[in-house]
Amino acid sequence: MSLESVPPKYAQLVQTLQRRIEAGDYPPGTMLPSENQLIQEFGVSRPTVVAALRVLREQGWIESQQGKGRFVRGRPALARAEQPRPGHAYLTTPETGSPGEVLEAGAQAVPNRVAALLDLPAKSRAFLRRRLVVRDGEPSEIVSFWLPLELSEGTDLTSADALADSIRGHLQARKGVRVDHIIEQITARMPSTDEAKRLGMPKNTPVLDVYAAVRDASGRAFVVVNVLLPADRHELEDAYPISSAS
């Protein structure tokens, strides 16, 4: 009675080989059995074997060299960079998850850089929500969200309390906008005296200044997230795989 559709043979082969690599039957660096050996062992045709091996290669489990064979790389740990980038993190984490203090929440004239990212005319106004985040009892970073005025209407962003919802979830639920990708720009500069005071920074210490333009599928930015990180307490980390082809 099993109406459950059985997965295609090549997909089963992919799973089997993945499990063997993870179990250590095929240790990283060693050679995988050749196509002919796999054909014999599993009793399938060559196109089926090749289809499975192609999937494994595209997912980063193995590498192949014409004339030599296929080599095990291991589980593609960071196949797709999954570390939390700052822009993404602040966009999806509810404010209630970390203590802090709302510094500003209202319309303001936008800085030039934010205007350019949001594609607004220079010196126009936009909605700003700025928050000082506290970690371990000490001021840690300043997070600012810039939105076009029409996007801020009908939201809870003017509240002085921490938002229980993430900015992303909030905007998607209330305004129907969908995040497609984010472009981050990382700079360093000296903090203003006000910033240095709020962050409790020692003298002569720079800040990392991250601008994240949050864009929809058409490439239009509808939110800019700005994060100010004292360089003596924060650093940014990023990991990415290198394709052997290039």
Q: Judged by CB, which is closer to DNA: 67, or 137?
A: 67
User: How far apart are CB 107 and its own copies at their closest, in Å?
Assistant: 27
User: How far apart are CB 180 and DNA at their closest, in Å?
Assistant: 18
Q: Which H or E run includes 87?
A: helix 86-92
Binder of its own copies out of 31, 81, 109, 149 (CB under 8 A): 81
State whether the Cα torsion 182-154-94-225 is positive or negative: positive
Contact string 95-134 vs its own copies (x = CB under 8 A):
----------------------------------------
User: How far apart are CB 236 and its own copies at their closest, in Å?
Assistant: 4
User: How far apart are CB 47 and its own copies at their closest, in Å?
Assistant: 8
* Total site size for its own copies, rule CB under 8 A: 43
User: How far apart are CB 18 and DNA at their closest, in Å?
Assistant: 16
Cβ-count burial 60-81 (b if 16+ within 10 Å, e if not): bbbbeeeeeebbbbeeeeeeee
Contact status: 245 vs its own copies (CB under 8 A): no
Partner that binds at residue 64, options its own copies, DNA, none, CB closer than 5 to 8 Å by kind: DNA
Alpha-carbon distance of 94 to 143, in angstroms, equals: 13
Alpha-carbon distance of 153 to 191, in angstroms, equals: 31
Q: Judged by CB, which is closer to its own copies: 81, or 149?
A: 81
Q: Which of 174, 184, 192 is nearest to 81 (CA)?
A: 184
Q: Which of 187, 185, 179 is nearest to 221 (CA)?
A: 179
Partner that binds at residue 46, options its own copies, DNA, none, CB closer than 5 to 8 Å by kind: DNA
Contact status: 205 vs its own copies (CB under 8 A): yes
Binder of its own copies out of 109, 185, 200, 220 (CB under 8 A): 185
Residue recorded with tokens 């910033």: 195
Alpha-carbon distance of 143 to 85, in angstroms, equals: 14
State whether the Cα torsion 156-117-115-208 is positive or negative: positive
Contact status: 178 vs its own copies (CB under 8 A): yes
Residue recorded with tokens 């700003």: 128
CB half-sphere exposure, 168, CA atoms < 13 A: 18
Binding site for DNA (CB under 7 A): 5, 8-11, 32, 34-37, 43-48, 50-51, 53, 64-70
**Range 2-41, binding its own copies (CB under 8 A):** 28-29
8 A C-beta contact, residue 110 and residue 181: no
Residues that bind its own copies (CB under 8 A): 28-29, 58, 73-74, 77-78, 81, 85, 88, 92, 178-190, 204-208, 217-219, 231, 235-242, 244, 246
